[in-house]
């Protein structure tokens, strides 16, 4: 695989055309606005292309599983990502590439989730920002960053460089607004990948301040500011199962343009398998969830959440022996939420058994002695 530079980036554009339509990050990379490596299999007549920016990896062109491409995807890019402090990336690719994913990414079966893309023409937007009492909005600029008394500033700074190489680059190329309450930054909405008349927006609100209209207020303000900067085509990405995010997008007037699978890959096998288990659990496929959790536990020293979730899935299946085994492992790993253990509905199928009552009594004694 060969790395393209400067004007050579245009050679990869035809290979990324389907993705660039709905992922502005790709267009920003090809336009030279977002620094990221672009690799192709041939510099003159490329057939396959790969680029990554932070946690997003884009694969375009013809499907292939050449040794060089496998090395790039299974070894080189994960090593680069780990050096940046990342433990995963999300793969975006045309559907014809999916059958090759296991071969391309070190043999791990892919995690498949649905991703939605919404779009808004800001020229038709008439929303008004409404804030509850006690909150105010401030633009994300140098003056805000200089306010050292504000709490949660690191949270905001981290997001500002999630798609920009530095804070200075964000201030020069992007814009945003944050919600402030009693000296704390409790929410934000930032533009991403500003490119000509297009941008995307990212948005977040601290859980304790959700359901108060802050997300709508910050997004509304950013949309109006985008239009004032000549940007009218605004994109919004979210997971298809993120109902609050998709509902807010629709409330603001965004239209669903596309829905396609995306594929999270975790470099640690244990985490990768555990996340597979979580998705099966949420879908109600408890047996498949158990199978994934068992693989995760076998891949290394599993953290509390894997054993707890394995216990819950087994509880739904009425398997008290497996439940108790995983709960014992969870306790050994540091689980100490006694109230949750007693009240979780996942254990209702075994709650009246003698073995369960015996285990609870022993867990209570253990908790008392080590609490």
End residue of a domain, out of 87, 110, 133: 110
309: closest CA among 299, 335, 88, 371? 335
pLDDT at 300: 86
How far apart are the C-alpha atoms of 39 and 90, rounded to whole Å?
Answer: 17
37: closest CA among 91, 1, 89, 64? 1
CA distances from 215 to 130, 171, 225 (A): 10, 21, 15
Place of tokens 């402090």: 85
User: Are 139 and 242 in a shared domain?
Assistant: yes
pLDDT at 150: 95
Half-sphere exposure (CA, 13 Å, Cβ side) for 221? 23
**Strand order across the 38-40 sheet:** 2-4, 38-40, 48-53, 56-61, 88-92, 255-266, 113-121, 233-239, 198-205, 184-195, 176-181, 135-139
User: Are 201 and 296 in a shared domain?
Assistant: no
How far apart are the C-alpha atoms of 54 and 159, rounded to whole Å?
Answer: 12
User: Are 143 and 94 in a shared domain?
Assistant: no
* Residue 202 domain-assigned (yes or no): yes
pLDDT at 363: 72
How far apart are the C-alpha atoms of 59 and 42, rounded to whole Å?
Answer: 15
Question: The domain containing residue 59 runs over which residues?
Answer: 2-110
How far apart are the C-alpha atoms of 364 and 336, rounded to whole Å?
Answer: 10
User: Are 100 and 135 in a shared domain?
Assistant: no
User: Are 130 and 201 in a shared domain?
Assistant: yes
**To 5 degrees, how large is the angle CA 248–CA 251–CA 252?**
90
End residue of a domain, out of 240, 257, 274: 257
User: Are 136 and 220 in a shared domain?
Assistant: yes
pLDDT at 361: 83
CA distances from 189 to 89, 107, 223, 348 (A): 22, 38, 10, 41
User: Are 19 and 129 in a shared domain?
Assistant: no
User: Are 296 and 229 in a shared domain?
Assistant: no
Q: Specify the pairing of strand 113-121 against strand 233-239.
A: antiparallel
Residues of the chain below pLDDT 50: 365, 367-371
| Residue 5 CB burial class (10 angstroms; 0-12, 13-18, ≥19) | exposed
pLDDT at 370: 47
pLDDT at 364: 59
**How far is the first Cα of the chain from the last one, in angstroms, to the nearest whole number?**
55
Beta bridge partner(s), residue 303: none
pLDDT at 165: 87
CATH number at residue 24: 3.40.630.110
* Residue 268 domain-assigned (yes or no): no
**Any long-range contacts for 205-211 (C-beta under 8 Å, 24+ apart)?**
205/179, 206/152, 209/179, 209/181, 210/244
How far apart are the C-alpha atoms of 186 and 134, rounded to whole Å?
Answer: 12
Q: What is the total count of domains within the chain?
A: 3
User: Are 236 and 291 in a shared domain?
Assistant: no
User: Are 101 and 186 in a shared domain?
Assistant: no
User: Are 54 and 19 in a shared domain?
Assistant: yes
Percent helix / strand / coil, the chain, rounded to 5: 50, 20, 30
């Amino acid at each position: 695989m060969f790395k393209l530079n400067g004007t050579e980036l245009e050679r990869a554009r035809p290979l990324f055309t389907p993705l660039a339509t709905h992922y502005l990050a790709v267009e920003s990379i090809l336009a030279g606005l977002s620094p990221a490596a672009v690799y192709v299999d041939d510099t003159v007549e490329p057939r396959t292309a790969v680029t990554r920016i932070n946690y997003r990896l884009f694969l375009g062109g013809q499907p292939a599983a050449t040794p060089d491409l496998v090395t790039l995807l299974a070894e080189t890019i994960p090593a680069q990502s780990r050096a940046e402090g990342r433990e995963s990336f999300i793969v975006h690719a045309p559907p014809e590439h999916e059958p090759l994913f296991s071969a391309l990414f070190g043999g791990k079966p892919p995690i498949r989730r649905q991703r939605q893309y919404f779009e808004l023409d800001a020229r038709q937007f008439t929303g008004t920002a409404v804030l509850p009492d006690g909150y105010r909005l401030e633009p994300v600029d140098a003056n805000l960053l200089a306010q050292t008394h504000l709490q949660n500033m690191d949270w905001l700074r981290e997001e500002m460089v999630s798609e920009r190489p530095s804070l200075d680059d964000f201030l020069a190329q992007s814009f945003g607004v944050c919600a402030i309450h009693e000296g704390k930054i409790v929410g934000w909405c930032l533009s991403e990948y500003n490119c000509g008349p297009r941008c995307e927006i990212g948005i977040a609100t601290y859980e304790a301040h959700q359901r108060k209209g802050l997300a709508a207020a910050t997004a509304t303000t950013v949309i109006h500011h985008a239009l004032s900067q000549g940007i009218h085509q605004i994109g919004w990405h979210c997971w298809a199962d993120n109902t609050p995010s998709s509902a807010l997008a629709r409330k603001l007037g965004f239209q669903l343009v596309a829905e396609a699978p995306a594929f999270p890959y975790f470099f640690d096998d244990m985490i990768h398998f555990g996340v597979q288990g979580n998705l099966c659990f949420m879908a109600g496929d408890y047996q498949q969830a158990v199978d994934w959790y068992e693989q995760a536990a076998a891949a290394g020293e599993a953290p509390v959440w894997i054993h707890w979730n394995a216990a819950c899935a087994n509880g739904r299946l009425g398997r008290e022996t497996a439940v108790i085994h995983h709960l014992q492992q969870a306790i050994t790993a540091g689980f100490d939420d006694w109230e949750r253990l007693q009240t979780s509905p996942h254990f209702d199928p075994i709650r009246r058994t003698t073995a369960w009552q015996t285990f609870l009594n022993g867990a209570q004694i253990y908790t008392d002695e080590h609490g």
